[in-house]
Amino acid sequence: MNRIVDIGVWQLAAAYLLLAFPFAIMLWYRIPMIGETAMSLVRMTVQLILVGLYLQIIFRLNILWLNALWLVVMVTVADVSIVRSCSLRLGRIALPLFVALIAGTSIPLLLFTGLILRRTNLLDAQYAIPIGGMILGNCLRADIVGIRTFYESIRSTEKAYLQSLAQGASLHEAIRPYVRKATQAALAPTVATMATIGIVALPGMMTGAILGGAGPVTAIKYQIAIMISIFSGTAITVALGIRLTTRNSFTGYGALDATVFRDRSKK
Amino acid sequence: MRRTETAGLTAALEARDVQVRFGEQAVLRAFSLLLRAGEKAVLTGPSGCGKSTVFRCFLGFATPEAGSIRIDDTELTAGTVWRLRQRVAYVAQEPDLGVGTAAEAIERPFHFRANAHLRRNPDRVPELFERFHLDRDLLHKDVGALSGGEKQRVALISAILLDRPIFLLDEVTSALDRASKQAVVDYLRSRQDATMLMVAHDPEAFSFVSQVVTLPGNPKMAGAA
């Protein structure tokens, strides 16, 4: 297999020409998201350039603690992003969710690099950073769905929730149906993706491996391993995230503490 | 109203100078109430005066900023609430029975560890359905399809089956026809052993109670002695 062809600056600039299509559609139908789209494109470009430069240094140095630090930075950004997306209070949720994200990312990542790839350096930058990033990215999506579903469901059916407490449920018994619903909602997209992978779309890691020069068989082996790691990571992070955040989100009497929401006015 | 000799009996439900505030608004101020074991009372007053809040305080769902709540002579705290709740059967105004059929709603509390010893109690459902004029076919109906009155009676049956000595009943007859209401009132009257605090807009229908507590109508400053 050939090594991947690099893209020159002018060739990359040419990629932006493709934006003529979505912008033309937006102008034609007067879709009010041109400014937002332009801002997102600028952010994407700047962020990726900075990350690319930073990762180049990390890859060149390949120092264990620096690789670990980069993963922690990624987890922290994901953590804040999830809490904000769920309209919850950062001070109450961020720390327990951080622990859940660290566990949900590091357990499948270390098993991947240690058990599957048999690397002696478990946090080798070439593997740990892209694989960790893929697991974490999926954990982020799953946690937004799972954590939001959990808290919003209890808030919207508060009467039924309090009734189960009144009927003698412990806190864990009372929240169990909501944990079930939230975890199912969070895992469903990954389950659906696994069922259609390779048919509906060629998955990211497989594409990356092929572009990087790997053969299709090697690429699918990586893809299978990463899908299982992602699924395992999302399950860990959602279940643990809900479990750990409940410690700060309920009163000692078992009622959902309304101050955990940023928008307290909503009932 | 009937007076009962209560000296020396356990204070089953007690509120002492309870004050509850939601934001800037005082919902209850200096509210006090004492019901000894076996006593029954009606809590009445205009809408929004804090009647349901009194129940929320006894269940630990609202935390008073002042005063104390006691159940069975024990102060309600975050440490005791889990045990004390098991002494109280609560029926909410417009009860939410969750999801599934009426039978599943009735069975659900018996899956909680605290009620594990009562697992045979749902055997009494047919008898109670008959007593409260409910068709047994309703058991297989989705709770979302039940009428307000049917929900109230199913919730009451669910509360009765928990075999608890104290009842908090929030307008449990408000959506019932005359015959069903009479059946519920007759049942409540027959439970001489039980302590009952009932919210009702027609206290005269509950002639067997020993106290009628009226909360004043000022929504910003409600209280009762």
- From CA A158, how far away is CA A164, in angstroms rounded? 10
User: Do the chains contact at A254 and B81, CB–CB below 8 Å?
Assistant: yes
| One-letter amino acid for residue A74 of the chain | M
Quote the minimal CA–CA distance from A245 to chain B in Å. Answer: 19
pLDDT at A5 over 60: yes
CA distances from B222 to A242, B31, B110, B196 (A): 38, 8, 37, 22
Rounded to two decimals, the pTM is 0.86
Calculated CA dihedral for residues B129, B134, B136, B138, nearest 10 degrees: -120
| Residues in CB range of B64: below 8 A, 6 or more apart | B18, B19, B20, B28, B57
- From CA B5, how far away is CA B177, in angstroms rounded? 34
Whether residue A46 lies within 8 A of chain B, CB to CB, comes out as no
Long-range (24+ apart) CB contacts under 8 A made by A181-185 are A181/A149, A181/A150, A181/A153, A182/A145, A182/A146, A182/A147, A182/A149, A182/A150, A182/A153, A182/A238, A182/A242, A183/A146, A183/A235, A183/A238, A183/A239, A183/A242, A185/A145, A185/A146, A185/A149
Quote the minimal CA–CA distance from B23 to chain A in Å. Answer: 11
Cα-flanking dihedrals φ and ψ of residue B130, to 5°?
A: -65, -45
| Residues in CB range of B173: below 8 A, 6 or more apart | B152, B180, B181, B184, B185, B200, B205
Q: Which residue of A has its CA nearest to B99?
A: A160
Closest CB to A168 among B79, B92, B112: B112
pLDDT tens, B145-164? 999 999 999 999 999 999 99
Percentage with pLDDT > 70 across chain B? 92
- Reported as a pLDDT band with limits 50, 70 and 90, residue A212 is confident
- This model of the complex carries an ipTM of 0.90
pLDDT at A36 over 90: yes
